[in-house]
C-alpha cells in the first residue's frame, strides 16, 4: 500500500488552506479527506459571516489575518467568481471613550503595518448609510485593507488551486479513527466500519469543532470549547435588486465595538451578528452532523433585537434566515497549530476562523516542511501550551473570552 506522506482530515477553509500552501511550497504528496460532498459545507466554514479584519490586540492574530488577506486577494484576482472583496472595515464609535480608543488603534495598526484612520460621523455615514446611525455615531475607525469573503467560493478556490498543484481530495470519506502503531500515528481509518487504512507519515487534523473527538482517540486533549453564535439576515431588499447576487460591492464591514455587534452586506441582503448574550457551549460528538444548531429565541432574541435597533437597515426590514452556528474558542483566543503533544505523527490546525485560515495554512505548511520560516513564534500557537491547565480552567477561560473575542478579532 502506497504511503501518503501527509493526510489532512477536513476540507473546510482551514484544511483546504493547509493543502494549498503545502503544494505552493512544492509538496504535492498531500491527500485531503472529508465526509462532505464536494459542494456542501456543513461545518463552521459554511456558516461563517465572512469578515476578514486584520487589526487585533494580539500581534499573532494580526500577522495571520494580514497573510490571509494576501492569499484571498491572490485567489480572487481575475476569478470568474471572486471569493474576497477588499471593501474595508468601519468600527463605529458611539462613546467618547471608543473614539479616543480609535485614535490609539491608528498608532497600534501602524506598528503592525495596517493603515487606519479616524473619520467623523458624517464620513462614517457616507461609507455605509444603511448600516451606520448618524444620530448615534460620533465617528469611526476606518481600515481600508480589511475585507469580506464568500466562504464557499473561497474554500472552492483553495481546493481547486491545491488540486491543480497535485493535491488529492477524497470526498464522502469520513475518518472513523486514527491509526496508532508503536506510539505513533501512522494513518487513518476510513470506510463504513473503519476497515480501510490510509497510511501517512503525518496526519493533520483540520476538522473544526470535531477536532477534540478524533484527537481524543490518540489520547490528545485539544484545549478548545465549541460555542454557539447567532447570525441574522434580512430578506432580500428591492433597492439592491440591480446588483449581482452575493456581491458586497463597496459597502464596508461595519462593527460596533461598544455593543459587540457587527454587520455587512451580502449581495441583496444584509447580515448581522452579536456576541452580547450568555455563552452557550456545545459538547462535540462523532455523531454531530453539522455545525448549525437549532435557533432558540430564548437564547438569542434579546441580543439580536438590540442589535437590530442599532443598525438602520434592520429596524423595519423583514427578517430572513436566522442561524445558530458553532465555532471553537481557546483560552487565549489563538488557534491551535502545530504538532500534537504526546502523539508523534499527529499535527493540528484547529480553532481557526476564516479570518486567519489563510495564514494558519501557510504557517503550518512551513512547520510541516521544516522550512524555518513560520509566520509567528510556533510556541504561541502550540497545541500543548495549556497542558498544565485543568479541563475546567480551559473551559471557563475560553467561555469568559466569548464577548472579548470581538475585540481580539
Q: Which residues contact 166 (CB under 8 A, 6 or more apart)?
A: 23, 28, 29, 30
Query: How, if at all, do strands 196-205 and 184-190 pair?
Result: antiparallel
Q: Is residue 53 part of a domain?
A: no
Q: What is the pLDDT of residue 62?
A: 97
Is 233 in the same domain as 320? yes
- pLDDT for 203 equals 97
Last residue of a domain, one of 311, 329, 347: 329
Both 377 and 389 in one domain: the answer is yes
Do 324 and 379 belong together in one domain?
Answer: no
Cell of 376: 509567528
3-state helix, strand, coil in the chain (%, to 5): 35, 25, 40
% of the chain residues with pLDDT over 70: 95
Please state, in angstroms and rounded to a whole number, the distance separating the CA atoms of residues 91 and 116.
11
Read off the pTM: 0.95
Report the domain count for the chain: 2
Closest CA to 211 of 112, 297, 132, 291: 291
Give the other-Cβ count within 10 Å of 381's Cβ: 27
The more confident residue out of 403 and 359 is: 359
Residues 132 and 246 in one domain: yes
Q: Calculate the CA dihedral of residues 293, 297, 300, 305 and round it to 10 degrees.
A: 140
Average model confidence (pLDDT) for the chain?
A: 93
CB within 8 Å of 72: residues ≥ 6 apart: 52, 83, 84, 147, 149, 154, 358
pLDDT band per the 50, 70, 90 thresholds, residue 323: very high
For residue 325 the three cell numbers come to: 452556528
pLDDT in tens, 277-317: 999 999 988 777 889 999 999 999 999 999 999 999 999 88
Q: Residue 174: which CATH number?
A: 3.50.50.60
The Cα–Cα gap between 96 and 103 comes to 11
What distance in Å separates the CA atoms of residue 374 and residue 353, rounded to the nearest whole number? 19
Amino acid 409: pLDDT: 42
How far CA 290 is from CA of 21, 208, 284, 325, in Å, comes to 26, 11, 10, 9
Claim to verify: residue 131 and residue 244 sit in the same structural domain: yes
- The Cα 233–Cα 244 span in angstroms is 17
Give the DSSP letter of residue 405: H
Same structural domain, 324 and 189: no
Rounded Cα–Cα distance for residues 45 and 376 (Å): 24
pLDDT band at 240 (very low <50, low <70, confident <90, very high): confident
| 185/218 Cα distance (integer angstroms) | 8
The reply to whether 237 falls in a domain is yes
Residues 157 and 216 in one domain: yes
Helix (H, G, I), strand (E, B) or coil at 387: coil
Q: Are residues 201 and 254 in the same domain?
A: no
Question: Is residue 408 over pLDDT 50?
Answer: no
> What average pLDDT does the segment 53-58 reach?
95
Question: Quick count: other Cβ atoms within 10 Å of Cβ 237?
Answer: 18
Q: What is the pLDDT of residue 151?
A: 95
User: CB neighbours of 253 closer than 8 A, spacing ≥ 6?
Assistant: 51, 53, 87, 88, 89, 90, 146, 147, 148, 262, 263, 264
Cβ 150 vs Cβ 50: under 8 Å = yes
What is the side-by-side strand order in the sheet with 147-149? 51-52, 147-149, 84-85
d(CA 342, CA 126): 54
Domain boundaries, position 309: 84-146+225-329
Q: Are 324 and 296 in contact (CB under 8 A)?
A: yes
pLDDT digits (tens, 9 = 90+) for 174-184: 999 999 999 99
Amino acid at each position: 500500500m502506497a504511503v501518503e506522506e501527509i493526510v489532512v482530515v477536513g476540507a473546510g477553509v482551514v484544511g483546504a488552506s493547509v493543502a494549498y500552501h503545502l503544494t505552493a511550497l512544492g509538496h504535492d504528496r498531500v491527500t485531503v479527506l472529508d465526509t462532505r460532498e464536494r459542494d456542501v459545507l456543513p461545518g463552521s466554514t459554511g456558516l461563517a459571516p465572512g469578515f476578514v479584519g486584520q487589526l487585533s490586540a494580539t500581534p499573532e492574530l494580526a500577522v495571520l489575518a494580514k497573510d490571509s488577506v494576501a492569499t484571498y486577494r491572490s485567489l480572487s484576482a481575475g476569478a470568474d467568481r471572486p471569493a474576497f472583496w477588499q471593501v474595508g472595515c468601519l468600527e463605529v464609535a458611539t462613546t467618547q471613550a471608543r473614539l479616543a480608543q480609535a485614535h490609539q488603534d491608528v498608532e497600534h495598526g501602524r506598528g503592525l503595518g495596517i493603515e487606519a484612520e479616524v473619520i467623523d460621523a458624517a464620513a462614517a455615514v457616507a461609507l455605509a448609510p444603511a448600516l451606520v446611525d448618524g444620530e448615534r455615531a460620533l465617528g469611526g475607525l476606518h481600515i481600508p485593507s480589511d475585507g469580506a469573503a464568500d466562504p464557499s467560493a473561497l474554500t472552492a478556490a483553495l481546493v481547486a488551486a491545491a488540486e491543480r498543484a497535485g493535491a488529492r481530495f477524497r470526498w464522502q470519506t469520513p475518518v472513523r479513527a486514527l491509526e496508532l502503531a508503536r506510539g505513533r500515528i501512522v494513518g487513518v481509518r476510513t470506510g463504513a466500519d473503519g476497515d480501510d487504512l490510509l497510511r501517512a507519515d503525518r496526519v493533520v487534523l483540520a476538522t473544526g469543532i470535531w477536532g477534540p473527538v478524533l484527537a481524543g482517540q490518540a489520547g490528545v486533549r485539544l484545549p478548545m470549547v465549541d460555542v454557539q453564535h447567532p447570525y441574522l439576515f434580512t430578506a432580500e431588499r428591492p433597492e439592491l435588486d440591480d446588483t449581482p447576487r452575493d456581491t458586497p460591492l463597496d459597502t464596508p464591514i461595519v462593527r460596533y465595538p461598544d455593543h459587540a455587534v457587527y454587520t455587512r452586506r451580502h449581495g441583496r441582503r444584509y447580515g448581522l451578528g452579536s456576541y452580547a448574550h450568555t455563552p452557550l457551549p456545545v459538547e462535540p460528538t462523532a455523531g454531530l452532523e453539522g455545525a448549525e444548531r437549532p435557533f432558540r429565541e430564548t437564547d438569542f432574541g434579546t441580543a439580536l433585537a438590540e442589535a437590530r435597533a442599532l443598525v438602520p437597515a434592520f429596524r423595519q426590514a423583514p427578517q430572513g434566515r436566522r442561524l445558530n452556528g458553532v465555532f471553537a474558542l481557546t483560552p487565549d483566543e489563538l488557534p491551535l497549530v502545530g504538532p500534537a503533544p504526546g502523539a508523534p505523527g499527529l499535527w493540528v490546525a484547529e480553532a481557526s476562523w476564516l479570518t486567519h485560515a489563510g495564514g494558519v495554512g501557510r504557517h503550518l505548511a512551513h512547520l510541516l516542511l521544516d522550512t524555518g520560516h513560520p509566520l509567528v513564534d510556533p510556541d504561541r500557537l502550540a497545541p500543548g501550551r495549556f497542558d498544565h491547565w485543568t479541563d475546567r480552567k480551559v473551559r471557563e477561560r475560553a467561555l469568559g473570552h466569548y464577548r472579548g473575542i470581538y475585540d481580539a478579532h
